[in-house]
Amino acid sequence: MKKQTRPTEPEVLQQNAAKWNAAWAALRAKNPSASFNWYQFKGKSAREWILPTLREMNDAHCSFCDAFPLEAITNEPIEHFKPKSDPRFHNEAYSWSNLFYSCDFCQGQKREQWDDQLLAPDATEYSFHHFFIFDFTTGAIAPNPTASFDMQERARITIEMYGLDLDPRRRMRREEARK
């Protein structure tokens, strides 16, 4: 999970995020089982407008497991870091800071789970080596044992929630390290 720098919010979200967040919150309040669909703007879905900027933000790598290149191996999901189905976060479904470029695997592992300790790769305080260690021989990722207890706990939660140390992720990292 490499450090990411979030670019300027796309114009489509600058103009519409507040309105779309309010509409999504109202829809879920009225119908808690309503399905999420990206709103349309000038003939394209909001997803189509923001995907190129998210992809560029981390060089077409998954924001969480670093799988690459995603456009060749997945549907290029956009991860809602704070789950859009959770009533606490309905007003963040279209918030730029809540959207990440993700692979199907990471998004499928996390689903609609949330923990306040979850690490965001674009957070100011985030640095891979402060939170994690990586074993190049096995592909394993683990909390950094020299980090504080709180930092280790945040790393553990992030690893668990995104499945970052599951065998398929280890194999992928070993293959990348060999290259």
For the cut 80, the answer to whether the pLDDT of residue 75 exceeds it is no
Q: pLDDT category, 174, cuts 50, 70, 90?
A: confident
Joined tokens for residue 61: 């790598």
pLDDT of res. 71: 59
> Does this model's pTM top 0.75?
yes
Q: pLDDT category, 70, cuts 50, 70, 90?
A: low
1-46 pLDDT, tens digit per residue, is 889 999 999 999 999 999 999 999 999 999 999 999 999 999 999 9
For the cut 80, the answer to whether the pLDDT of residue 73 exceeds it is no
Residue 147 in 3-state DSSP? Answer: coil
Distance between CA 84 and CA 36 in Å, rounded?
8
% of the chain at pLDDT higher than 70: 97
Output the average pLDDT for the chain: 92
The separation between the first and the last C-alpha atoms of the chain, rounded to the nearest angstrom, is 18
pLDDT of res. 69: 64
For the cut 90, the answer to whether the pLDDT of residue 121 exceeds it is yes
Kindly list the distances between the CA atom of residue 172 and the CA atoms of 56, 60, 164, 176, in Å, as whole numbers in the listed order: 21, 16, 11, 6
Least confident of 6-15, 53-62, 122-131: 53-62
